[in-house]
Structures are given as C-alpha cells and as structure tokens.
Structure 1
C-alpha cells in the first residue's frame, strides 16, 4: 500500500523545517510539487528551494503537476470547494499514476496540515486509500505572533480562529475578544467597527519578503490595505494573516 506523507513546511522559510520534516523529506520516493498557474511560480519555487537545501537522498524524485483552478461561478461556496477538492484529488492520482514504483509519496504543505488547510480532506478522497502520515509544521499564526513578539491571548482568556469570509458575513463572533483571521482576500477588517480594536497584521511572515504592521485599527486599516495591494502587485500573490483584539 502506498504511503502518503503530508509535511508541514512553515511559511516557506527552510529554517522553519523540523528535524522530523527533514528526515521525512529524505525518506520519500516521490515528492509532488503543485504549480498554481501564472503569477504564482514563486510558490513552487520555494518548495524547490526547500528541497535543494535539505534533500540529500539522490533516489528521491521531485515531480511538478498542475493544480486545478477553483470554479468561482457556482453560487454555493461549499459546493465550489468540494468540486475543487475532487479535482485536486484527481490531479494527485494522475501524477502518482505516472510513477507507480513510488511507494512513499509526499506533499509539502504550507504551515501545518491541520490548521485551515484541506490537504488531509483531499487525501481522504483518494481511492484506494493510502496510509497517511502527518508531519506538523510551524503555522502562519505562530510566525505572526513571533514576528510581533506577542502572546496571542490575554491571561486566562480564549481566542478564536476564523476566516475573513465569516468575519465579513457574520461580524465579530460572540464570546471572544481576540480573533485570529486567516484566508482573508478582501480585507474584512475594514467591515467592522474599529473603535477599541487593535490589529497585528503580517504578510509573507517568516520569509525574506515579510511585511508587518500593528496599531489601532482605526489608524492602520487604510495603510494595511495599501501595503497589501502593493505587495500582491509586486509578487503576483500574497499570504497574509492578522490578529484583532478588543481593548
């Protein structure tokens, strides 16, 4: 039976790799690297950089494959995501089928496979089901708090991890004064009442391109929107995350 290993690689900085991740990379027959289309070549290149730095097993093959594009026309969000995950699973199977001799296959996953990442859900769609192993990685949330040198929660207080879409559509969730917001392509922090809210924002955290900004939301909201737009234009892609706290 094929073994599939999902290796958390942090935010693209090779220094984020754990010893467990390095050993796992070198134990593979095949490493699959997705290509995400024009303007996002850096994402595949960063995975190659990581392999160049830590891969010493000459028998390990590195193979790129094209990642399907999500259909944004279907009205139902969950249906769009489910269809997309089906297509990605098919792309994995096609790539693996070209290398039937590979018994140990790995994917390098941004951050950690368990936090706002669907790699495990996609792996569950493979038939026949492989044996799945997970190597945890540094998450963008950890990289953000490290970049700002802050704890994520007040003493004894909870925090809530959510998405930009939910913050925009549903407002500030009840029961938490601190929010960690991920997957926000639309700057949902601009849709909430900024009074008494502090933000810690970062893009490309942990990488050479890292940009961070923090302050009262009312004062830094517009500058963050501008920095984000300029960085996306410059690199062709952006990965950002932020923490909001009501004072």
Structure 2
C-alpha cells in the first residue's frame, strides 16, 4: 500500500524544516507538488525549499488543484465536493506503492484539510509535524500567545464576520481571513498583532490598538499582495482587562 507522508514545512522559510522533515523528504520515492492557478509562487517556494534540503534526486510530480464549485450554495457541501475532487486528482498522481511525500504549509493539524482528503483514499498516512503560523506570528512580535492562565481561541475570518468576538475568549487568533474581518468589530479596548509571510524574509508586521492600526494593516496587506502575487497572513487580538 502507498504511504502518504504529510510533511509540515512551516511558513515557507527553509529554516523551519525539522530534521525529521528533511529525512522524510529525502526518504520519499516521489514528492507531490500542488499548483494553484492564483498562487503559482507557492509551488516555486516548495521547489526552492527542496533544492536546499534534498541530498539525492527525488522525482517531483506537480499537479493542478481543482477549484471550488461556486454553484453549490451551502458552504459545507461546497467544501466537501471540493475535497472529493482533490482526492480524485491525488488518486491519479499517487504511485502504486512506495512512499509519496506532500509538503504542507505550517502543520497538517491546523486549519488544513489534507488529512480529511487523505482519509478518502486507500493509503496509509504518516504526519511529520511542522511549525505553525501561530508560532511564527508570536515569534515575529516576541509575544506570548496567551495572557497568564488565559484561554486562547483559534478561528477564521468568516466566523469572525458571522458571529463577532467569540464568547468567553480573552485572546483570539484569526486565520484564513482575506477580508480583514477585524474591521467588523468594535475596536474599543482591543489590541492586535498582525503578520504577513510570518517567518519569511518578506515578513511584514504591525501591532497596536486596533482602532489605530486597522487602516494601516488593510493598506499593507493590499500592497504586499500586489508585490508578491499572493499573501498568507494571521493575527492575534487581545481584549484589555
């Protein structure tokens, strides 16, 4: 049976690769590299990381990812159909036996659907953990993730827009937010720490009172996306006591 090795690669910095990750990539029979039409630089980044760490030639198999079907109105159904389509593409490029590695941004456990897609296939799965964007964000700002003995809630931009500040949360980490959803909140007594490309050479970071920093983040995000053609960003917000 084919072994699918999901390798967490951090936020795009080759220095984020653990020794276990490097061993897994070098031990693979093939490395799969997905391509997204609107983010071709991500495939380039994967190839660049491999060029630094591969100690022997390993075949690279690139494939195009299908898009979500906008005709499916229900969000959960739309995502499920999209995952089914991706699984079909994987089935067409995975080898019949041996070890296939796939490089996953951050860690496969955190707001990544690779494990759910892999569960649709007749493969065995091994996970190599990686540095998450949450860790890279805190490192970029040299801050702890939580207040003393305080809870932290991780959520998405869509849920922040739909439901507002999560009840009972002192600190909120927001991922997958392409619309700067912090603008939907009452900014009073909220601090924010925002980073794009956290941990990478092109890292951009801003922090301060949400009321003051929010407009600057919106501008910085638009500028960074225009320059690089893609963007991955994340932010932590904390309410003052």
- TM-score bucket of the superposed structures, by smaller chain: over 0.9
Match of 2:111 in 1: 116
Aligned residues: 240
- Per-residue deviation, residues 100-143 of structure 1 (Å, max 9, x unmatched): 3x5100100000000111000000011xx211000000000000
Distance apart, 1:237 and its partner CA = 1.1
Match of 1:6 in 2: 6
Distance apart, 1:193 and its partner CA = 0.4
Is residue 218 of structure 2 the alignment partner of residue 220 of structure 1?
no
Give the distance between the partners of 1:91 and 1:224, measured in 2 at CA.
37
Match of 1:156 in 2: 149
Distance apart, 1:231 and its partner CA = 1.1
Distance apart, 1:202 and its partner CA = 0.5
Match of 1:91 among 68, 81, 89: 89
Q: CA RMSD in A?
A: 0.9
Is residue 197 of structure 2 the alignment partner of residue 198 of structure 1?
no
Distance apart, 1:72 and its partner CA = 2.8
Match of 1:74 among 64, 68, 72: 72
- SS of match in other structure, 1:230: helix
Is residue 56 of structure 2 the alignment partner of residue 61 of structure 1?
no
Distance apart, 1:95 and its partner CA = 1.2
Please list, as runs of the form range in 1=range in 2, the aligned pairs for 1:223-234 lying within 5 A after superposition.
Answer: 223-234=216-227
TM-score by length of 1: 0.95
Instruction: Give the unaligned 5+ runs of structure 1.
Output: none
- SS of match in other structure, 1:180: strand
Match of 1:240 in 2: 233
- Per-residue deviation, residues 173-216 of structure 1 (Å, max 9, x unmatched): 11111000000011110000000000000001111111000000
- Per-residue deviation, residues 71-110 of structure 1 (Å, max 9, x unmatched): 23321111111111111111111112xx43x510010000
Match of 1:171 in 2: 164
Give the distance between the partners of 2:61 and 2:214, measured in 1 at CA.
41
Distance apart, 1:233 and its partner CA = 1.6
Give the distance between the partners of 2:70 and 2:133, measured in 1 at CA.
25
